[in-house]
Chains A and B, each alone.
Chain A
Amino acid sequence: AQSVSQHNHHVILSEAASLELGCNYSYGGTVNLFWYVQYPGQHLQLLLKYFSGDPLVKGIKGFEAEFIKSKFSFNLRKPSVQWSDTAEYFCAVNYGGATNKLIFGTGTLLAVQP
């Protein structure tokens, strides 16, 4: 079955700490990968996406993610977090098919302490 796992459900960091959030997905075919962020009270916003090409993708606000096909992973990273990064982060995968729907991970709630 198609599934997406995010191993960190709740992460607490101090400002300037480095961040890495794990995301693994099932199935080994061609996938499109996404990280979305949801700030408190706001809608899901796209942080970054991978369709093909360079497996290291850079997104908005200093975030990046690396697609490692052999590990079925797409981990999100940021070298130095800020208080404003406090939000919930969702990994999502498009496995293709007729509708290109997204399968989401359970989300990681990040709290950055000033």
Chain B
Amino acid sequence: DQQVKQNSPSLSVQEGRISILNCDYTNSMFDYFLWYKKYPAEGPTFLISISSIKDKNEDGRFTVFLNKSAKHLSLHIVPSQPGDSAVYFCAASRHPGEYISNFGNEKLTFGTGTRLTIIP
């Protein structure tokens, strides 16, 4: 049962254009979402995250949008650069509570990944 889905296994975008990666989830208990970038034979690197109390979070060239009613989130990269070529995973988790001393202790459920290729 794939609770987090990335329906596009691959995406090619011209350098300088916008890359849009999509992610859907089925578990309504998820309320925190993250995007990771991964190169072959390396561990994922955290990119950006968003809490369910927001619908948008922006960090430099990266913006994540969340549509809770549709259970959908997307990552926008603009402008796209050749170094952005990698596999991108979205991940979801549940918020452990408002006040907690240990962050990061909730398990992540990953999507299947989208391979982004930026064409020079």
* A and B associate in one complex: no
Residue numbers of A with Cβ under 8 A of B are none
